[in-house]
């Protein structure tokens, strides 16, 4: 099938604002991304995922779209998007673009019309509700970025729903005309040659029609965010979303295109599987299950993979993205060797793997002082440490250049972390032992092995902190051994052919010797 490339694919996420600035304004753009596609192709990746580059007031830095068919002038023009798609395809890279359909910007013409009255053509294109008799909001739902999920609008004398900022009103994706409009947007980009979509918070597309209150969670202490006080039974993950996904899937199948859904839910793996379970569902989905882990243990991986046993759909996995603390800091204490181990683990799991820009360099999470914060979530929850700016700082290309080669401007929209300069692409290209060199080696191993790319995952018994599993496809079996702890361990092992050693690991006669935070890949 046209989407078979997705099985075992490695997909590289570009956050355009921070990838490469071509025009010297301190903000990354599409032309800058085009200039650096060779780097992504050199890693051995199969596809790119572009975070939003559409017309936007930038209240949430592109995730508040005011024109789904337009390119924001910060990023270039529609011709630049076409040129990027064409260049990526010449390099053998598929192109996946973000689609933010759970909500739009409040500057979108649809919302301007919807809020104008209760009886216009788009009056029901957003989620509106009357106040309670005492004037309070319709229910107790809380926004992800803090505060009530409802905002009063004096023109309609009703509340509108926003799961994120008040400037991001929720679309009423239950409405057939809204669905038709969203499918028209999909068709517009499919006609321009994109190979698929990443669907932002796909399980937020529909809400409970009765607007029932969410029940409270039993908590030992108050969480940092108000929405974490609740079980989200009614404001997300509603069955009606799957009916719309079926319509989208039918359209995608006509174009030979794919969709990956982002899942934000209290039962992330369960919902991932549900949203990919069948030919009328998404091709794949990822969640925050690994993205929010603070320690990597064998149990974490075995639990994740066990929930996909016998599944029809395809999982996707990532350790970093633009929303979370970068994995070298979160999971590896900024130790390069442990970062390599985490990359090896990610790239040996069944399913598609997502790399976030800078993962291949082992970039630590950046320090951004309060006065330079741009993320509305970071500002709202300061000084709790919650926020996304540390994952969004400029990509370092040239160790000794101005702003590490990200821009010719004296500064950028977010500051460059000084630690990132020494980890720039050009510096690591000169170092055969760099994280960048290892990433290329690990992706090449995955691409050259049917077992690692598309084979089944077979867990093996091993004492903690050893994680052991096989990947099997046809006649090929690859034994994957990971020591996730600091102390060296040995494991009995019959004969096999060493495919790759990560860190201080050796294949001995009758045994595998694993130093602290090391791994072995053995053909058996």
Judged against a pLDDT cut of 90, whether residue 106 lies above it is answered with yes
Q: 200, 274, 375, 417: which one is catalytic?
A: 200
Judged by phi (left if over 0) then psi (alpha if -120 to 50, else beta), residue 206 lies in beta
Q: Is residue 114 part of a domain?
A: no
Span 303-319, mean pLDDT?
94
Do 501 and 375 share a structural domain? no
3-class DSSP state for residue 344?
A: helix
Task: State yes or no: is 46 an active-site residue.
Answer: no
Judged against a pLDDT cut of 80, whether residue 92 lies above it is answered with yes
Do 326 and 295 share a structural domain? yes
Domain termination site, one of 422, 444, 466 = 444
Q: Is residue 288 part of a domain?
A: yes
Domain termination site, one of 444, 475, 509 = 444
Judged against a pLDDT cut of 80, whether residue 309 lies above it is answered with yes
Do 490 and 439 share a structural domain? no
Span 82-110, mean pLDDT?
98
Judged against a pLDDT cut of 80, whether residue 1 lies above it is answered with no
Do 235 and 95 share a structural domain? yes
Span 291-307, mean pLDDT?
96
Q: Produce one character per residue of 432-468: b if its CB has 16 or more CB atoms within 10 Å, e if not.
A: eebbbbbbbbbbebbbebbbbbbbebeeeebeebbbb
Predicted local confidence at residue 386, as pLDDT: 85
**From residue 303, how far is each of 164, 289, 299, 306, 339 by CA, in Å?**
30, 10, 6, 5, 22
Do 284 and 246 share a structural domain? yes
For the whole prediction, is pTM greater than 0.85?
A: yes
Q: How many whole angstroms from its chain centre is CA 393?
A: 16
Q: Is residue 410 part of a domain?
A: yes
3-class DSSP state for residue 371?
A: helix
Predicted local confidence at residue 330, as pLDDT: 98
3-class DSSP state for residue 467?
A: strand
Span 49-55, mean pLDDT?
98
Do 476 and 407 share a structural domain? no
Q: 72, 153, 170, 262: which one is catalytic?
A: 262
**Distant-in-sequence, close-in-space partners of 257: CB < 8 Å, separation ≥ 6:** 2, 3, 190, 194, 195, 196, 197
Q: Which of these ranges, 308-312, 455-459, 518-522, has the smallest mean pLDDT?
A: 308-312
pLDDT band at 473 (very low <50, low <70, confident <90, very high): very high
Q: What percentage of the chain has pLDDT greater than the value 90?
A: 98
Q: Is residue 127 part of a domain?
A: no
Predicted local confidence at residue 127, as pLDDT: 98
Task: State yes or no: is 200 an active-site residue.
Answer: yes
Q: Which domain holds residue 502?
A: 456-523
Q: What is the largest CA-CA distance in the chain?
A: 79
pLDDT band at 385 (very low <50, low <70, confident <90, very high): confident
Q: Is residue 128 part of a domain?
A: no
> Is the CB of residue 357 less than 8 Å from the CB of residue 13?
yes
- The separation between the first and the last C-alpha atoms of the chain, rounded to the nearest angstrom, is 31
* Interstrand relation of 94-99 and 158-161 (parallel, antiparallel or unpaired): unpaired
Do 491 and 374 share a structural domain? no
3-class DSSP state for residue 53?
A: coil
Do 378 and 320 share a structural domain? yes
Residue 465, domain CATH: 2.60.40.1180
Judged against a pLDDT cut of 80, whether residue 246 lies above it is answered with yes
Do 362 and 256 share a structural domain? yes
Span 345-361, mean pLDDT?
98
pLDDT band at 308 (very low <50, low <70, confident <90, very high): very high
Span 20-40, mean pLDDT?
98
pLDDT band at 480 (very low <50, low <70, confident <90, very high): very high
pLDDT band at 495 (very low <50, low <70, confident <90, very high): confident
Angle between helices 240-255 and 176-191 (to 10 degrees): 30
Do 182 and 44 share a structural domain? yes
Predicted local confidence at residue 502, as pLDDT: 98
Q: Is residue 404 part of a domain?
A: yes
Q: Is residue 16 part of a domain?
A: yes
Judged against a pLDDT cut of 80, whether residue 26 lies above it is answered with yes
Do 467 and 358 share a structural domain? no
Span 319-336, mean pLDDT?
98
Residue 94, domain CATH: 3.20.20.80
3-class DSSP state for residue 244?
A: helix
Domain termination site, one of 444, 468, 503 = 444
Do 412 and 352 share a structural domain? yes
Predicted local confidence at residue 504, as pLDDT: 97
Q: Is residue 144 part of a domain?
A: no
pLDDT band at 494 (very low <50, low <70, confident <90, very high): confident
**Distant-in-sequence, close-in-space partners of 508: CB < 8 Å, separation ≥ 6:** none
Predicted local confidence at residue 122, as pLDDT: 98
Q: Let me know the angle formed at the C-alpha of 82 by 81 and 85, rounded to the nearest 5 degrees.
A: 85
Judged against a pLDDT cut of 80, whether residue 340 lies above it is answered with yes
Q: Let me know the angle formed at the C-alpha of 176 by 172 and 178, rounded to the nearest 5 degrees.
A: 50
Average pLDDT, the chain: 97
Domain count, the chain: 2
Judged against a pLDDT cut of 90, whether residue 363 lies above it is answered with yes
Strands (E), 187-306: 196-199, 258-263, 284-287
């Amino acid at each position: 099938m046209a989407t078979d490339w997705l099985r075992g694919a490695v997909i590289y996420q570009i956050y355009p604002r921070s990838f490469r600035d071509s025009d010297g304004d301190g903000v990354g753009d599409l032309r800058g991304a085009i200039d650096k596609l060779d780097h992504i192709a050199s890693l051995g990746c199969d596809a790119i995922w572009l975070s939003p580059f559409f017309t936007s007031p930038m209240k949430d830095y592109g995730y508040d779209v005011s024109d789904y068919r337009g390119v924001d002038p910060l990023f270039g023009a529609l011709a630049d998007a076409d040129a990027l798609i064409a260049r990526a395809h010449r390099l053998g890279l598929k192109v996946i673009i973000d689609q933010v359909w759970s909500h739009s910007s409040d500057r979108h013409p649809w919302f301007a019309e919807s809020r104008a009255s209760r009886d216009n053509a788009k009056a029901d294109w957003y989620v509106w509700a009357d106040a309670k008799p005492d004037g309070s909001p319709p229910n107790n739902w809380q926004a992800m970025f803090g505060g009530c999920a409802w905002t009063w609008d004096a023109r309609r004398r009703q509340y509108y729903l926003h799961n994120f900022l008040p400037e991001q009103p929720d679309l009423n994706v239950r409405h057939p005309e809204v669905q038709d409009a969203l499918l028209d947007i999909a068709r517009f980009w499919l006609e321009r040659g994109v190979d698929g979509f990443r669907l932002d918070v796909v399980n937020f597309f529909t809400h409970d029609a009765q607007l029932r209150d969410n029940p409270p969670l039993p908590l030992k202490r108050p969480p940092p965010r108000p929405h974490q006080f609740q079980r989200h039974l009614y404001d997300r993950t509603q069955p009606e979303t799957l009916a719309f996904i079926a319509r989208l899937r039918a359209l995608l199948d006509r174009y030979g295109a794919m969709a990956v859904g982002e899942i934000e839910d209290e039962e992330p793996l369960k919902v991932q599987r549900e949203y990919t379970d069948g030919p009328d569902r998404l091709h794949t989905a990822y969640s925050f299950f690994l993205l929010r882990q603070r320690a990597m243990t064998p149990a974490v991986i075995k639990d994740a993979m066990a929930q996909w046993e016998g599944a029809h759909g395809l999982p996707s996995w990532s350790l970093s993205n633009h929303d979370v603390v970068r994995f070298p800091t979160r999971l590896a204490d900024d130790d390069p060797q442990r970062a390599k181990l985490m990359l090896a683990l990610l790239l040996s799991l069944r399913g598609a793997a997502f790399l976030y820009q800078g993962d291949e360099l082992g970039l630590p999470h950046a320090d951004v002082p309060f006065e330079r914060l741009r993320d509305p979530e970071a500002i709202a929850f300061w000084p709790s440490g919650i926020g996304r700016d540390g994952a969004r700082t400029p990509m370092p290309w040239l160790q000794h250049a101005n702003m590490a080669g990200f821009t010719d401007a004296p500064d950028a929209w977010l500051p460059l972390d000084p630690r990132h300069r020494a980890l720039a692409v050009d510096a690591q290209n000169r170092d055969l032992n760099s994280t960048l060199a290892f990433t290329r080696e690990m992706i090449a191993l995955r691409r050259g092995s049917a077992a690692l790319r598309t084979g089944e995952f077979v867990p093996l018994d091993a004492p903690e902190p050893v994680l052991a599993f096989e990947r099997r496809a046809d006649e090929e079996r690859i034994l994957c051994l990971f020591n996730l702890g600091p102390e060296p361990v040995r494991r009995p092992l019959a004969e096999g052919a060493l495919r790759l050693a990560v860190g201080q690991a050796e294949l001995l006669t009758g045994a595998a010797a694993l130093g602290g935070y090391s791994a072995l890949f053995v053909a058996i």
